[in-house]
Amino acid sequence: MNISTSQALFEKAQHFIPGGVNSPVRAFRAVGGSPVFIKSAKGPYVYDEDDNEYIELINSWGPMILGHGHELIQKAVSDAIQHSFSFGAPTRREVEIAELITTMVPSIEKVRMVNSGTEATMSAIRVARGFTGRDKIIKFEGCYHGHGDSFLIAAGSGAVTFGTPDSPGVTKGVANDTLTAPYNDLDAVQKLVDANKGHIAALILEPVVGNMGCVLPAEGFLEGLRKICDEEGIVFIFDEVMTGFRLSKGGAQERFGIKPDLTTLGKIIGGGMPVGAYGGKAEIMNWVSPLGPVYQAGTLSGNPIAMAAGLTMLNYLNEHPEVYTQLELSGHKLVNGFTNSIKKLGLNYTINSIGSMYTLFFTDQAVTDFPSAKSSNLPLFGKYFHAMLDRGIYMGPSQFESMFLSTALEDGHIERIIEANEESLKEVIG
């Protein structure tokens, strides 16, 4: 495959941008080689600067649920830009999207728009701290909640991909206020809570993890956490930046029937535009400025173009339940196909999936937490990644990521992915 234009761009990029990219995982460091530079995308396809076509499994790390360049969203954005790009003043669509979010995600009574998932999680723990008057938070090893200082402790996604789950630059004071527990380990959480009675403001988790690869909550785990939080007056936060509006209309919380106190949302609500949000119980959100004393602000928050894209996409999802039926079916077909190939080739790799999210791990262990995710054979994943890319399948370039399907994928595309997977596995196991 010719990727010479991408290679030249990457070469140049490294002179001007740290590592040549504006977000670490994009650099392909974990899998080797040069990243492909994307020029355009439509429906289930992305095209690179050398005009290679790939079937999309990243989908902007989640938001392109309806595939790329959906015509309704495109029209909403082009209509919106006729009226300028930013006002820094309240607009009608902000009210409409807030109302819609509270309808689709019933645990959210009030919501505040921000500009990224990172901002959403940072703000959510600030308000939880303000509300409870406590300092400490609990997070889970391998969960990623953006690059806020408090979360770069045993962090997943790019942080673990690049060997910096505890980043330099985070002060000891901040790090001391973040307690970590193994994912799916209720006893460990109970012990942390007992040892820090009256000091824990919030417990935050990905209700389904995307950032150590796809990892599911064990039976009873989310219920158990809800109970602990209730008993101890801890604000229970679901980070649904990846799962919100994807695993169901109301996110993972609807799917698992658990109500968190606060929810953080991200890229998905902007239909791919830079947006995030946090929301939840009114009694907590009423602490947010200007109503309450917890300060949080943003010049570009609720940006009119992003709101136009997000509102159109959320309205579509709200009115088209068949989107979720299709995502489930596509997920099932793909995972069945992968499972058959794995068996046929006499392999025992683990595939974790739920709805339209999946990760194939190069390990025979069940992957339920960070250590088991890290038992995956990473060099083998790197080879597999490139074998898939060569066959025109564009995956997240790290073992510690989930893949995301879109409704733009038709049966033919799923079959091509399944075939490419089987051929790639054959190639890498030799």
117 contributes a contact to ligand PMP by CB under 6 A: yes
d(CA 344, CA 322): 33
146 contributes a contact to ligand PMP by CB under 6 A: yes
* Nearer to ligand PMP (CB atom), residue 260 or residue 266: 266
Among 68, 70, 145, 246, indicate the residue that binds ligand PMP (CB under 6 A). 145
28 contributes a contact to ligand PMP by CB under 6 A: no
**Quick one: which segment of 104-112, 140-148, 173-181, 228-236 binds ligand PMP (CB under 6 A)?**
140-148
* Nearer to ligand PMP (CB atom), residue 48 or residue 401: 401
Which helix (H) or strand (E) segment holds residue 20: the answer is none
* Nearer to ligand PMP (CB atom), residue 241 or residue 393: 241
Cross-sheet strand order for the sheet of 357-361: 350-354, 357-361, 403-404
114 contributes a contact to ligand PMP by CB under 6 A: no
**Quick one: which segment of 235-243, 287-295, 341-349, 371-379 binds ligand PMP (CB under 6 A)?**
235-243
3-class SS shares of the chain: helix, strand, coil, % to 5: 45, 15, 40
| Residues in contact with ligand PMP, shown as a per-residue x/- string from 118 to 137 under the rule CB under 6 A | x--x----------------
Phi, psi of 190 (to 5 degrees): -60, -40
104 contributes a contact to ligand PMP by CB under 6 A: no
Residue nearest to ligand PMP (CB): 117
Task: Return the ∠ at Cα 341 (arms to 339 and 344), rounded to 5°.
Answer: 110
* Nearer to ligand PMP (CB atom), residue 101 or residue 414: 101
* Nearer to ligand PMP (CB atom), residue 20 or residue 396: 396
61 contributes a contact to ligand PMP by CB under 6 A: yes
207 contributes a contact to ligand PMP by CB under 6 A: no
266 contributes a contact to ligand PMP by CB under 6 A: yes
* Residues between 169 and 198 that touch ligand PMP (CB under 6 A): none
Q: How many residues does the chain have?
A: 430
User: Per the structure block, which two tokens stand in for 385?
Assistant: 């990644």
What is the chain's Cα-based Rg? 21
**Quick one: which segment of 2-10, 141-149, 217-225, 301-309 binds ligand PMP (CB under 6 A)?**
141-149
Angle, helices 411-429/322-344, rounded to nearest 10 degrees = 30
Which helix (H) or strand (E) segment holds residue 364: the answer is none
Report yes or no: 201 and 175 within 8 Å, Cβ to Cβ.
no
* Nearer to ligand PMP (CB atom), residue 203 or residue 428: 203
303 contributes a contact to ligand PMP by CB under 6 A: no
211 contributes a contact to ligand PMP by CB under 6 A: yes
CB of 266 to ligand PMP, least distance (A): 5
Partners of 404 in beta bridges:
357
Partners of 56 in beta bridges:
394
Residue 410 has a CB neighbour count (10 Å cut-off) of: 13
Report yes or no: 44 and 413 within 8 Å, Cβ to Cβ.
yes
CB of 88 to ligand PMP, least distance (A): 21
Number of residues that bind ligand PMP (CB under 6 A): 18
Residue whose structure tokens are 């010049």:
299
Write out the E strands in 183-334.
Answer: 200-205, 235-239, 262-265, 276-280
* Residues whose CB is less than 8 angstroms from the CB of residue 404 and which lie 6 or more positions away in sequence, other chains included: 57, 58, 59, 61, 62, 64, 242, 246, 356, 357
CB of 179 to ligand PMP, least distance (A): 18
d(CA 428, CA 285): 51
**Quick one: which segment of 43-51, 75-83, 91-99, 142-150 binds ligand PMP (CB under 6 A)?**
142-150
267 contributes a contact to ligand PMP by CB under 6 A: yes
* Nearer to ligand PMP (CB atom), residue 144 or residue 394: 144
d(CA 152, CA 145): 8
Contacts 24+ apart (CB under 8 A), 287-292: 287/127, 287/130, 287/131, 288/112, 288/123, 288/127, 292/130
**Quick one: which segment of 143-151, 250-258, 285-293, 359-367 binds ligand PMP (CB under 6 A)?**
143-151
* Nearer to ligand PMP (CB atom), residue 3 or residue 143: 143
Partners of 239 in beta bridges:
264
* CA pseudo-torsion sign 311, 312, 317, 319: positive
Catalytic positions:
144, 239, 267
**Quick one: which segment of 226-234, 237-245, 334-342, 356-364 binds ligand PMP (CB under 6 A)?**
237-245
Contact footprint for ligand PMP (CB under 6 A): 61, 116-118, 121, 144-146, 157, 206, 210-211, 239, 241-242, 266-267, 276
